[in-house]
Structure 1
Amino acid sequence: MKTVIYYFTGTGNSLAAARKIAADLGDCELIPIASLQNTDGNVVPETGRLGIVCPVYDGGVPVMVAEFAGRLDLSRTDYVFAVVTMGGMGISALHQLDGIFRRRQDKRLDAAFAVRMPGNFPPLFRPPSGAKRDEILAAADRHLGEIAEAIGRGRAAQPGFAPISAVMKALTYGPFSRQVHGADRDFSASDACTGCGTCAKVCPAANIEIVDGRPAWSHRCELCCACLHFCPVEAIQFRMLLGTEGRGRYRHPDVKVADMEAQARAVNLHDR
């Protein structure tokens, strides 16, 4: 059975997860959600099995993912699954996706999974590095193998009961989703910036331009922090809570700038 996986990634965790599942399942197509954000109408996949893979932001899914899920027409799909990658809690994000599908077309997720991967929001905590990072990634890889097997067998798996995650989402996701596009006002580039343009290349929202050799944000931000983490000289900073200067950076070791650029480039290819 052919599988289509739609993914969104900021630091590469969710892309790496989608690749692992696709490799284990076989006959699988990966499509970046960013490539469809500027197209009109519903998305009607003609595939027996469909998945969404994305990170958890403030207890929910990225706004771009939520909007995309609302456009999905699942009438021709037999089995629908979701996988969220998270640094801490995030089962509530799976319930959010399930709710979007139920409200829009009275269809539920057939299977829902959460995978712990290295957390990567420096204003809140320093991303793990070295052996600790590798240990988390190895455990995630094993878990993803189990998830792929369950998906391949068509098993049902509900998100489960997660009251703390639900409370966190109830408190934080609403303000996050309403303000996220303008959150880029708190990004800046230090004098270390070389004007290389990496930040613009990796942004999945096509939100950054290089103007007079410096990044300029256009207020379509998803707060994925790809610009922050992929900057080769760590020039980009974010003014929030503890800030980001000297607090480390993270990107999945198997995901390169070219991979992120391909996700972002698809935005322009489909822009109309």
Structure 2
Amino acid sequence: MKTVIYYFTGTGNSLAAARKIAASLGETELIPIASLANTPGTIAPAADRVGIVCPVYDCGVPVMVARFAERLDLSRVGYTFAIVTMGGLGVSALRQLDGILRERRSRGLDAAFAVTMPGNFPPLMRSVPAEKCGKTLGRADRRLGEIAEAIGSGRAVSPGFALLSRLVNALSYGSLAKGAHDAGERFSVSDACTGCGTCAKVCPASNITLAGDRPVWSRKCELCCACLHFCPVEAIQLRVMFGTEGRGRYRHPDLTVADMEAQRGGGAARENPATGSADGS
């Protein structure tokens, strides 16, 4: 049974989750949503099972993921699922995604899952200490094993209600969706910047260019904060409510710069789940 998993990641949590599920299911293709962002038309995967794995932003899905879901035709798919990774609340993101799919293509999710992983939005939370981070990732790995079993058996799973999560989504997600692409204006870079270009390499939206060895943000930001977390000298800061100075940085221990570059790479970014590496890399 062939499975296709579409994923979006900024710090690696969702990619790690997608890889875990793919390895458990077998015959699974991982396709980065960012690699399809600029392709026109409807996306109709030829697969028996199709899943979406992404992080939670303001109790909703990233804007790029929402736009992708609007183009996704699942009418000929036998089983559909979604997994969101989150640092706190987020079940409402699954309901949002299900609603988009049903409204656009009259086919929603058969199963929806949420997985708690280390939070990584520095304006609102400090980075998790290494020991606690390891324990959180261990619990997430066990949870993903349970999820893979449910998906493998074709079980129907409701996303649940989660009143507080829906309330936060209703109050704040609209502002996120409206202003995310312009969020580059809120990033700054200090004199510590070495001009290495890592920030431009890891941006899934291709939103960063270098001008005189300094990063410049355009107007298609997804607020994933990959640029901030990957900067080797922590020269990049973000000002949203609170600043990010001294608040630490995070990325999943298995995530590499090459993984992030491959996320934008079209066919080259499609992964072989047996190795967990991008084809051609």
TM-score exceeds 0.5: yes
- Quote the offset at 1:268 in angstroms: 11
In the alignment, which residue of structure 2 is the partner of 1:190? 190
Cα distance in 2, alignment partners of residues 239 and 108 from structure 1: 36
In the alignment, which residue of structure 2 is the partner of 1:205? 205
- Quote the offset at 1:127 in angstroms: 1.7
Task: Tell whether the 8 Å contact from 1:2 to 1:47 is kept in structure 2 after alignment.
Answer: yes
RMSD: 1.3
Cα distance in 2, alignment partners of residues 220 and 159 from structure 1: 30
Task: Tell whether the 8 Å contact from 1:38 to 1:267 is kept in structure 2 after alignment.
Answer: no
Q: Secondary structure at the match of 2:188?
A: strand
Matched, 1:122 2:126: no
In the alignment, which residue of structure 1 is the partner of 2:279? none
The amino acid that maps onto 1:118 is P
Cα distance in 2, alignment partners of residues 108 and 45 from structure 1: 15
Q: TM-score, normalization: structure 1?
A: 0.97
Q: Secondary structure at the match of 2:251?
A: coil
Cα distance in 2, alignment partners of residues 53 and 120 from structure 1: 17
Cα distance in 1, alignment partners of residues 46 and 176 from structure 2: 33
Cα distance in 2, alignment partners of residues 245 and 268 from structure 1: 36
Q: Could you give the per-residue CA deviations for residues 226-245 of structure 1, whole angstroms, max 9, x where no partner exists?
A: 00001111110001222001
Q: Indicate how the Cα distance of structure 1 residues 41 and 62 shifts in structure 2: closer, same or farther if over 3 A, else same.
A: same
- Quote the offset at 1:265 in angstroms: 3.6
Unpaired runs of at least 5, structure 1: none
The amino acid that maps onto 1:115 is V
- 1:36-115 superposed matches below 5 A: 36-115=36-115
Matched, 1:148 2:162: no
Unpaired runs of at least 5, structure 2: 270-281
Name the count of aligned residue pairs. Answer: 269
Task: Tell whether the 8 Å contact from 2:75 to 2:106 is kept in structure 1 after alignment.
Answer: no
The amino acid that maps onto 1:74 is L
In the alignment, which residue of structure 1 is the partner of 2:29? 29
In the alignment, which residue of structure 2 is the partner of 1:221? 221
In the alignment, which residue of structure 1 is the partner of 2:138? 138
Cα distance in 2, alignment partners of residues 106 and 167 from structure 1: 25
Cα distance in 2, alignment partners of residues 234 and 266 from structure 1: 29
Cα distance in 2, alignment partners of residues 192 and 264 from structure 1: 27
Q: Could you give the per-residue CA deviations for residues 23-49 of structure 1, whole angstroms, max 9, x where no partner exists?
A: 111110000000001011000101000
Q: TM-score, normalization: structure 2?
A: 0.94
Q: Secondary structure at the match of 1:23?
A: helix
- Quote the offset at 1:267 in angstroms: 9.9
Cα distance in 2, alignment partners of residues 184 and 153 from structure 1: 43
In the alignment, which residue of structure 2 is the partner of 1:6? 6
Q: Could you give the per-residue CA deviations for residues 101-120 of structure 1, whole angstroms, max 9, x where no partner exists?
A: 11112212000000000000
Q: Indicate how the Cα distance of structure 1 residues 267 and 222 shifts in structure 2: closer, same or farther if over 3 A, else same.
A: farther
The percent of aligned pairs where both chains have the same amino acid is 69
Cα distance in 1, alignment partners of residues 46 and 267 from structure 2: 22
